[in-house]
Amino acid sequence: MIFASNFLKKCFIFFVISCLTVTSELSAGEGKSYIEGEVLIQLRQQDYAVTDRRTRILKALDVDVIKNLRDNVYLVRPAKDESAVSAARRLGKYPDIEFAEPNYKRYIKSVTPNDPLFYSQWALENIQSGDAWEIQKGDAGIIVALPDTGIDYTHKDLKNNLWKNGGEDWSASGPGYNGIDDDGDGYIDNYFGINSITGSGDPMDDEGHGTHIAGIIGGEGDNSIGISGVNWRVSLMGVKFIRAVDGSGSIADEIEAIQFATSNGAKVVNMSFSGNYFSEIERYAIENARNVLFIAAAGNEIMNNDYMPNYPADYKLPNIISVAASNQSDELAFFSNQGSNTISVAAPGVNILSTVPGDDYCSLSGTSMATGYVTGLAALVLAKSPYSSVADLKDRILRTVDTNADLQDKILTGGRINAYRALTESITGPYIYNISPDRGPTGSEVSIQGTCFGGTAGHVIFEADLEAAIISWTNEKIVCLVPEGAATGSIYVETSGGLTSNGLNFEVTFYPAMGRIAFPYINVESGRSSFIFLSNPLDYSITVEAFAVGSSGDNTLKFMSIDPFGKIIMDIKGFGILNEPFSLDCSSEELFGAAILTIKEDVGEVMFLPHLIFRGIR
């Protein structure tokens, strides 16, 4: 007993020191992740045209309206003495407001430029573009939008592949010379896109990031100039919302950019930016554009997105592909985020040569660049099959990757994109990408991620032909229980239509969870950032099961693997239960520790919830 007591004390000290170290890093990190003095609100859907309530509602909020982003979404300015976080908290309590949040920032995701002599386009060969071009080189009828720092629309390698607004008067000498909003869309001379920061029609790039991504997607091919993009022909739409001064853009300006893009025919939207804060309004804008595929950068923080989400890449939406970066050896790039449950694919993102403003070229690295390659591939697939649905387009990209050992357990698909395979291979039936966890006792919950499972529940079959009880079923995710009598072996999915998936191995263990730590109440109101800390004091890896249940009954199950003597820090928002308090139960077959850290953003207060518990060996 003395040994056990001293052992637990050491574990406790190890865990608290680890937590305080990370807390210090969080507190000393970047400045405010939102624009002070600005709040985004979304009114509840009502027939305002008939009731004429909208004006009265806005007047009662004690705010100034900066702009109306769409019918029921507004960017507002609170009173001068009220912080954005406090105002969002106050406004969120009004019954007529569905969401209220600070106007969060999103940041571009490129890394420091490399040696300018290292000029090569190794990535095109890596994804087998040459073979793909024998089948399809691209089509100017495919519109790709780039919410970013803009595009240098005068660049010699891009100017012939730009989207052109047919509603504007092209008899003028060029952008800016007409001075008239010919098409009545609110933007003057928006020949090639818009600038949602200034509200103008000029998306000229003043930073370079957007132009670099544009070249990856659609630098003109076979023109004896510079480089070639994944598409020799395409229509690149510039929708500038990111400022050059600090590489950030606001959610409000991003929403305006997305709305313009989707209203003007964009079928693919490249999102080479991210941020740590979940935005209901950003998520809604993406979800609402159901017929558009969004390709999003996973981030360059060397983090695991399963535990520390990056948005918009980590929104659980069927029209998002999240992208990690790989190097020339098909390994995960040293800077790239990973996540076997959250990041869809990898693509080349190291030493990528592409266009920059001023008819120039340079090499950059980042998940931004990797995202550009996946976006380019999506456009190439659409050029070959222009009537593909978003689901079909996403499946074709994810199910034709080149898998390898380094990317397994780091990326959902375990592979890097292949352009030739995406254009040529047959894609049919259900497919399993990932089982989490891949081991557990009978009666435990298992999450199966994949595609083409269908909207109606079918069957999950374990070894020995035993059928699992289904907890939930969607087209891309199934949660089930390990059936009694199950043995170690393959798991298959059978759809309601009788189609059978590939099989993945599952190990059945024969011992129950050893310990449980419960957090009965976690507050997720605006202005609070909460994190769960999990610690492994043992010299071998362990798995912790975390089950979150919201007050409405909404629930999420996550399985977290912790390295020997390691720790995991996960943003509570990663459970996806928002705008309502929830409980959290953590359990494991092994010894582990857990704590909740909450940060009050408006006052900078950091505190632990009093639920730090270590389980002893029984």
Distance between CA atoms of 569 and 595, rounded to whole angstroms?
A: 10
148 is catalytic: yes
For the chain, helix (H) and strand (E) counts, in that order, are 12, 35
Which position among 129, 148, 202, 340 bears the catalytic label? 148
Which position among 340, 368, 444, 447 bears the catalytic label? 368
Closest CA to 182 of 204, 163, 161, 164: 164
**Could you tell me if 127 and 347 are in contact, meaning their C-beta atoms sit under 8 angstroms apart?**
yes
Q: What does 287-333 look like in DSSP terms, one character per residue?
A: HH-TTSEEEEE--SSS-BTTTS--BTTT---TTEEEEEEE-TTSSBP
Distance between CA atoms of 541 and 535, rounded to whole angstroms?
A: 11
Beta bridge partners of 548: 556, 584
Distance between CA atoms of 534 and 585, rounded to whole angstroms?
A: 12
Beta 459-462 vs 489-494: how paired, if at all?
antiparallel
Question: In terms of C-beta density within 10 A (0-12 exposed, 13-18 middle, 19 or more buried), how is residue 184 classed?
Answer: exposed
**Could you tell me if 314 and 275 are in contact, meaning their C-beta atoms sit under 8 angstroms apart?**
no
Helix (H) or strand (E) holding 88: helix 84-91
Distance between CA atoms of 461 and 468, rounded to whole angstroms?
A: 6
Which position among 209, 228, 501, 561 bears the catalytic label? 209
Which residues are CB-neighbours of 490 under 8 A, at least 6 positions away? 463, 503, 504, 505, 506
How many CB atoms lie under 10 A from the CB of residue 104? 25
Distance between CA atoms of 71 and 263, rounded to whole angstroms?
A: 14
Residue 376 structure tokens: 């380019």
368 is catalytic: yes
Distance between CA atoms of 111 and 349, rounded to whole angstroms?
A: 10
Distance between CA atoms of 94 and 43, rounded to whole angstroms?
A: 10
Distance between CA atoms of 44 and 74, rounded to whole angstroms?
A: 12
Closest CA to 313 of 350, 349, 286, 352: 286
* Residue written as token pair 């070229």: 361
**Could you tell me if 28 and 82 are in contact, meaning their C-beta atoms sit under 8 angstroms apart?**
no
Opening angle at CA 568, ends 564 and 572, nearest 5: 160
Query: With the C-alpha atoms ordered 472, 476, 481, 484, is the resulting torsion angle positive or negative?
Result: positive
Helix (H) or strand (E) holding 543: strand 542-550
Closest CA to 11 of 504, 484, 615: 615
Cis peptide before 312 (omega within 30 of 0): yes
Closest CA to 106 of 282, 349, 289, 346: 282
Distance between CA atoms of 216 and 207, rounded to whole angstroms?
A: 16
How many CB atoms lie under 10 A from the CB of residue 420? 17
The residues assigned a catalytic role are: 148, 209, 368
